[in-house]
């Protein structure tokens, strides 16, 4: 529309939430995407981007709230990107997440939306995470009340907390958080106080210098174990300084069971290390899912919401209609959490994973649980599958009755999808944390399979993210 221009202020009513979490309003039928708005709100907006088929705007003022509005429970809401939907009732969150799955399947994949069941809620909507990553920065983002004060007397060159959305280098000091646990926030605050007094500087993204980089807190929700992982710059180890911090933190928080220090040689802001040492404790924590116990080291991937993961794995077992006679292939198996969960219910599980360290963890978890009917193999998944499908190569056992695939957000490689169809198991269960890439993968599988069930799972309450489990049967 020619009448809409950049910088223009308009009064609109928000209609719905789009996939990804943005809200949608319309001006004479022209779509305007908005950040941080809710269906039913009447708002004043300013257009900051205009394209041929839509515009983007920011909310300047909320004129009226919908009847379903709820008051956010965290003081950081509004500038923290962690829980964007705190002001949306949880029942409405589940509704919109299901709608987004339907939208992706019908618009992108041509799959009927009526097979999408109601979203399964997370057993907990707060304090459900078992891992949080916090960033050190030399550029602290000021809280709104700090901006208003004229006599600001505090350090602007030190922060430990979370990134502010839309900024790559500014971090605000987290003072409370309802995602992991109250103790994890206390650990964060004590590490911040101690490191701020240290002569060593926080890492600067712009200058690519400084020592302190990341703090990761991992918890075993069912075991009560806590792992603190400190990641620093790799130029100098400063082990005495790190050891002093570890001693101080362990003295303040006796519940910490292990402290790990890693040196990062990367320029990229990724909370992983290239050289790791265990300062104290075993170097890992343990978690329990179902009847299985898992070791989780500093760099291991593990489901972030263990309460929701248990429900998800129960659904996978239910979708598989397992009788105890099946051979199951677990693609993108990671540390073997799905494989170990279903192992007592099947004849054999064969796991395929690209990351060798994850496969080593999977074998260790089998030993820990006394499970003998699982094997895991590292390498390019499509090549492993083709080798496994060759009857003359018997190390994998028989052709699978069921294939379970739980790929990363990017989805399955097209060659992996093709290998699934060539092998042709009776059933496929696809697990996905990204409805758009799931739709792409399903569109390929529909050449030989038909969708029986689609069940969304909410693993991340108060966010737009949604997980899905899909059951496909081979067309006879």
Catalytic residue set: 433
What is the chain's length? Answer: 476
- In 3D space, the residue among 271, 261, 254 whose CA is nearest the CA of residue 132 turns out to be 271
Which three-class secondary structure string do you get for the chain?
CCCCCCCCEEEEEEEEECCCCCEEEEECCEEEEECCCCCCCEEEEEEEEECCCEEEEEEEEEEECCCCCCCCCCCCECCECCCCCCCCCHHHHHHHHHHHHHHHHHHHCCCCHHHECCCECCCCCCCCCCEEEEEEECCECCCHHHHHCCCCCCCCCCEEEEECCCCCCCEEECCCCCCCCHHHHHHHHHHHHHHHCCCCCECECCCCECCEEEEEEEECCCCCCEEEEEEEECCCCCHHHHHHHHHHHHHHCCCEEEEEEEEECCCCCCCCCCEEEEEECCCEEEEEECCEEEEEECCCCCCCCHHHHHHHHHHHHHHHCCCCCCEEEEECCCCCHHHHHHHHHCCEEEEEECCHHHHHHHHHHHHHHCCCCEEEEECCHHHHHHHHCCCCCHHHCCCCCEEEECCCCCCCCHHHHHHHHHHCCCEEEEEECCHHHHHHHHHHHCCCEEEEEEEEECCCCCCCCCEEEEEEEECC
């Amino acid at each position: 529309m020619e009448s809409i221009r950049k910088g223009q202020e308009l009064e609109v009513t928000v209609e719905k939430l789009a996939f990804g979490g943005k809200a949608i309003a319309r001006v004479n039928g022209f779509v305007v995407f908005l950040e941080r708005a809710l269906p039913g709100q009447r708002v004043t907006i300013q257009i900051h981007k205009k394209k041929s088929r839509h515009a983007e705007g920011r909310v300047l003022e909320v004129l009226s709230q919908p009847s379903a509005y709820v008051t956010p429970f965290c003081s950081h809401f509004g500038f923290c990107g962690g829980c964007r939907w705190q002001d949306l009732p949880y029942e409405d969150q589940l509704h919109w997440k299901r709608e987004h799955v339907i939208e992706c399947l019908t618009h992108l994949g041509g799959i009927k939306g009526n097979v999408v069941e109601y979203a399964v809620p997370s057993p907990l909507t707060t304090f459900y995470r078992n891992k949080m990553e916090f960033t050190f920065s030399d550029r602290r983002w000021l809280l709104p009340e700090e901006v208003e004060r004229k006599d600001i007397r505090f350090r602007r060159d030190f922060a430990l907390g979370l990134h502010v959305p839309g900024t790559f280098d500014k971090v605000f000091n987290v003072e409370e958080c309802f995602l992991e646990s109250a103790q994890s926030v206390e650990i964060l605050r004590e590490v911040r106080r101690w490191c701020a007094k240290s002569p060593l500087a926080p890492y600067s993204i712009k200058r690519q210098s400084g020592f302190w980089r990341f703090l990761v807190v991992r918890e075993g929700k069912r075991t009560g174990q806590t792992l603190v992982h400190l990641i620093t710059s790799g130029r100098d180890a400063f082990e005495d300084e790190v050891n002093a911090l570890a001693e101080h933190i362990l003295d303040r928080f006796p519940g910490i069971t292990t402290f790990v220090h890693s040196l990062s040689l990367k320029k990229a802001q990724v909370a992983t290390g290239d050289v790791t040492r265990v300062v104290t404790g075993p170097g890992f924590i343990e978690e329990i899912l179902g009847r299985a116990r898992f070791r989780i080291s500093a760099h291991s991937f593990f489901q972030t919401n263990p309460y929701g993961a248990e429900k998800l794995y129960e659904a996978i077992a239910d979708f598989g209609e397992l009788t105890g006679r099946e051979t199951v292939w677990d693609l993108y198996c990671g540390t073997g959490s799905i494989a170990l969960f279903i192992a007592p219910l099947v004849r054999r599980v064969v796991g395929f994973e690209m990351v060798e360290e994850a496969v080593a963890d999977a074998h260790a978890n089998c030993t820990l649980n006394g499970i003998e009917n699982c094997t895991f193999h590292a390498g390019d998944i499509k090549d492993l599958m083709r080798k496994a499908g060759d009857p003359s190569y018997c190390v994998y056992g028989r052709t699978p009755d069921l294939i379970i695939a739980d790929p990363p957000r990017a989805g399955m490689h097209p060659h992996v999808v093709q290998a699934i169809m060539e092998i042709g198991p009776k059933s496929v269960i696809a697990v996905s944390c990204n409805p758009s890439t799931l739709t792409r993968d399903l569109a390929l599988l529909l050449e030989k399979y038909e969708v029986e069930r689609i069940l969304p799972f909410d693993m991340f309450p108060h966010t737009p993210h949604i997980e899905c489990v899909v059951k496909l049967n081979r067309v006879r």
